[in-house]
Amino acid sequence: MTERAPVLSVRGLSVRFLMPGGRRVAAVTDAHFDVAPGECLALVGESGCGKSVLASALLGLLPGNAQTAGQALLGETDLLAADERTLARTVRGRLIGLVPQSPAAHLTPVRTIRSHLRETLTELTGVRGRAALRAAAGKAAERAAFPAGHLDHHPHELSGGLAQRAATALALVGDAPLLLADEPTTGLDRDLVDRTVDELRRHVDEGSEGAEGAEGAGASAGNAGAGRALLMITHDLAAAERIADRVAVMYAGRIVELTDAAAFFGAPGPRHPYSRGLLQALPDRAFTPIPGLPPELGDLPDGCAFAARCARATGACAVPPPLTGTVACHHPHQEPGPRAPAAQPLAPEAADRA
Partner 1 sequence: MLELRAITAGYVKNAPVVRNVSLTIAPGEAVGLLGPSGCGKSTLARVAALLHRPDSGTLVLDGRPVRRWRHRAPRELRTAFGVVFQQPRLSADPRLALRDLVAEPLRATGRREGLAERVAELASAVGLTPDLLGRRPHEVSDGQLQRACLARALVLRPRWLVCDEMTAMLDASTTAALVAVVEEYRAATGAGLLAVGHDRTLLDRWCDRTVHWETLPARARPAEDGQPAPERVPAG
Query: Nearest distance from residue 152's CB to partner 1, in Å?
Result: 21
Query: Nearest distance from residue 317's CB to ligand SF4, in Å?
Result: 3
Q: For ligand SF4, which residue of 154, 195, 312, 333 counts as binding (CB under 6 A)?
A: 312
From ligand SF4, partner 1, none, interface partner of 76 (C-beta below 5 to 8 A by class)? none
Q: Is 329 in the site for ligand SF4 (CB under 6 A)?
A: yes
| Other CB atoms within 10 A of residue 288 CB | 10
| Per-residue b or e along 241-272, where b marks 16 or more CB atoms closer than 10 Å to that residue's CB | bbbbbbbbbbbbbbbbbbbebebbbeeeebbb
E strand or H helix that includes residue 135: helix 130-143
Q: Is 7 in the site for ligand SF4 (CB under 6 A)?
A: no
What lies within 8 Å, CB to CB, of 160 at 6+ separation is 103, 104, 187, 188, 189, 192
CA Rg value for the chain? 22
Q: Is 232 in the site for ligand SF4 (CB under 6 A)?
A: no
- φ, ψ for residue 122 (rounded to 5)? -65, -40
From ligand SF4, partner 1, none, interface partner of 278 (C-beta below 5 to 8 A by class)? partner 1
Only segment of 182-190, 196-204, 327-335, 339-347 that touches ligand SF4 (CB under 6 A)? 327-335
Query: Nearest distance from residue 149's CB to partner 1, in Å?
Result: 19
The answer to whether 171 and 99 are in contact (CB under 8 A) is yes
- φ, ψ for residue 268 (rounded to 5)? -85, 5
224 to each of 71, 126, 231, how far by Cα in Å?
25, 17, 19
Q: For ligand SF4, which residue of 96, 144, 317, 323 counts as binding (CB under 6 A)?
A: 317
Query: Nearest distance from residue 312's CB to ligand SF4, in Å?
Result: 4
From ligand SF4, partner 1, none, interface partner of 202 (C-beta below 5 to 8 A by class)? none
Q: Is 273 in the site for ligand SF4 (CB under 6 A)?
A: yes
Residues of this chain that interact with ligand SF4 (CB under 6 A) are 273, 304, 306-307, 310, 312-313, 317, 321, 329-331
